Amino acid sequence: MRFYIDWLSWMQQSTTRVVALLIAISLVVPTTAQATSRIKDIADIEGIRENQLIGYGLVVGLNGTGDTLNNAPFTLQSLTSMLERLGVNTRGTNLKTENVAAVMVTAHLPAFAPQGTRIDVTVSSLGDAESLQGGTLLVTPLMGADGEVYAVAQGPVAVGGFSAGGDAATVTRGVPTNSRISNGAIVEREIIFEMADLGVLRLALRNPDLTTARRIASAINAFLGRNAAKAQNPTTVVLTVPQDFRGTAIDLLTDIEQLRVEPDAPARVVVDEASGIIVMGRDVRVSQVAIAQGNLTISVTETPQVSQPSPFSQTGTTEVVPRTEVSVNESQDRKLAVLDGSVSLQVLVDGLNALGVSPRDMITILQSIKAAGALQAEIEVL
């Protein structure tokens, strides 16, 4: 009996050690889950989308920083029409107020937003107003692409920038003619869309890719245990709602959007020539190629000198004598570098940095490598 108790205690301690060891290994050894993403982060569900709204209105209460009515006739017409609707007749009157500004009001209507929901709006000056600071937006209907009014905006505007100055200097921070009203619009019309009763759901990938679409379909089918999802094209995955989820498609979507897949993307180099920014994907590869980079700089400096005649000279005149200095720098210290075949992104970057290549020159080098057929990636110039 004593032996049985000792043996049972040893087994319990051994089991505890094994469990602790497995936990430690799981914390040290990296897993592939770190490279995966949820389906909800890489795909959108058809029907769940925002709608853009736009409207035209007036901002009043400005401290002399509004539109000049002579230069903005639309502001004068809008002000006159508004006053007439309020029972004030200003026809034929020469209005000179500078406390009013015509603005465009924009907003995003969230999906399934019910009536009475408040949304943020952005207010932007349309005329020659200097600032919208301290102004109040009057009632402005916000319309959709179909011309119907879906929300109404009104309230004091909040300007993030400012402008101040005098006759000789002016200081401007941010954009004082652009402002925002938090919860400044009330939804008046709801966009009706019945999702729970749908028999077919469509998932749209944010970054279209055939491999990613197929992986999403495979993950969904593995979760449901049946072939209900199919990759229709690089952008769309079609999901047929199973019979046991009919009428409860939202329950199905909440389970599917938590599934994890590893997104794939083609090898691509994105170049922004305006700012000199270069972004390379992890799958960018370069075949064996030799690169040489050097600059020819010619500098011409003019330092003219003045030649004057001797004192009390009767015949001499003052002349300007040109002095020109020309220097040539061929950057002879630049050498030819060889990149071995199928090098990785890190080796490519290290090799270009070793040559002392600036981002501007690197853009030209990458385009030249692509023209030589040695860059196994797509170059996208913004």
Closest CA to 369 of 382, 379, 359: 379
Sign (positive or negative) of CA dihedral 208, 213, 216, 217: positive
Cβ atoms 322, 370 nearer than 8 A: no
Query: Is residue 188 pLDDT above 90, yes or no?
Result: yes
pLDDT of residue 10: 45
Tell me the β-bridge partners of 236. Answer: 204
| pLDDT exceeds 80 at position 126 | yes
Q: Which range (3-12, 32-41, 84-93, 294-303) has the least confidence?
A: 3-12
Angle between helices 249-256 and 210-224 (to 10 degrees): 120
Confidence (pTM): 0.65
Model confidence band, residue 136 (pLDDT cutoffs 50, 70, 90): very high
Residue 84 is predicted with a pLDDT of: 86
Residue 348 has pLDDT above 90, yes or no: no
Write down the pLDDT at residue 116: 92
pLDDT level of residue 369 (50, 70, 90 thresholds) = confident
28 vs 91, more confident: 91
Express each pLDDT in 258-270 by its tens digit: 999 999 888 888 8
Strand-strand pairing, 43-45 and 200-205: antiparallel
Q: Please state the rounded mean pLDDT for residues 217-240.
A: 92
Q: Which amino acid is at 376?
A: Q
**Which comes out higher in pLDDT, residue 351 or 368?**
368
Residue 248, pLDDT score: 81
246 pLDDT higher than 50? yes
Q: Which of 20-34, 154-168, 170-184, 329-343 has the highest mean pLDDT?
A: 170-184
Mean pLDDT of 191-204: 83
Please tell me the predicted confidence (pLDDT) of residue 16. 47
Q: Tell me, what's the pLDDT at 298?
A: 46
119 close to 157: Cβ distance less than 8 angstroms: no
| Residue 18 pLDDT > 50 | no
% pLDDT > 70, the chain: 74
Q: For residue 279, name the pLDDT band (cuts at 50, 70, 90).
A: confident
Residue 322 in this model has a pLDDT that exceeds 80: no
Give 261's contacts (C-beta < 8 A, 6+ positions apart): 36, 37, 39, 42, 212, 215, 216, 219
β partners of residue 378: 268
pLDDT at 28 over 90: no
- pLDDT at 332 (0 to 100): 55
CA distances from 99 to 133, 137, 308 (A): 11, 12, 64
Tell me the average pLDDT of the chain. 78
Spatial separation of the C-alpha atoms in residues 313 and 236, rounded to whole Å: 93
Residue 212 pLDDT > 90: yes
The residue behind tokens 């020539």 is 273
